[in-house]
Amino acid sequence: MKLIMLDLDGTLVDTSQDITNALNYAGEPFALKKLTMKETISMIGEGVTRLIEKSCGEDKPELRERVIERFLDYYSAHLTAHSVVYPNVKETLEKLHAYRKVVISNKRENLSVQLLDTLDLMKYFDLVVGSDTTAEKKPSAVPLLHVLEKFHALPEEALMVGDSKFDIEAGKRAGVKTLAVAYGYGEKQHLLEADYLIDSFDVLPRILDMNSSKLI
């Protein structure tokens, strides 16, 4: 086992309040429904375009582009106003120095890097792959296969860690082991197909140690 691929929003960082604020700001001039954080969480996971489509309707392409522009302007300027690193994440990443670690997010690459850097997480990662880094995003296997190729790793040498069904589906399609975190945005019933399910990030090293013979 030498490569750990991790989702960002809902896995490493709780970004739900800042995304909710940006959505409500973006939709305000167009009289779009004001969203609660719970409603936003239910829509997070497929990237900005799908997020906006869900909030303003898929049958309004012209409106969608205007809302996306306002969303990105506001969100870029308030990226970490309320976002926080989940408990035990930094301490656990410190212990995983023996592994290559990559963030694979459906957030755009520049925003992912900015978020990680501002929250002092970037130093733990060898690479960041965003929704616009490869031709496809999760749940496609493409971003994971891109990472495997870049680090000359076999699928059986890698683990995908995430909080949503999109992370688990991408991992399965890429042929890597999958680990779901139950504290994130995804509903637990959608995570049951993962190879492992944990309630706290600090359990990750124990899973790696205890199951190393199975994962390699």
Instruction: For residue 14, indicate whether it is catalytic.
Output: no
Cβ within 8 Å of residue 216, ≥6 positions away: 1, 156, 157
Catalytic residue among 7, 9, 14, 167: 7
Active site residues: 7
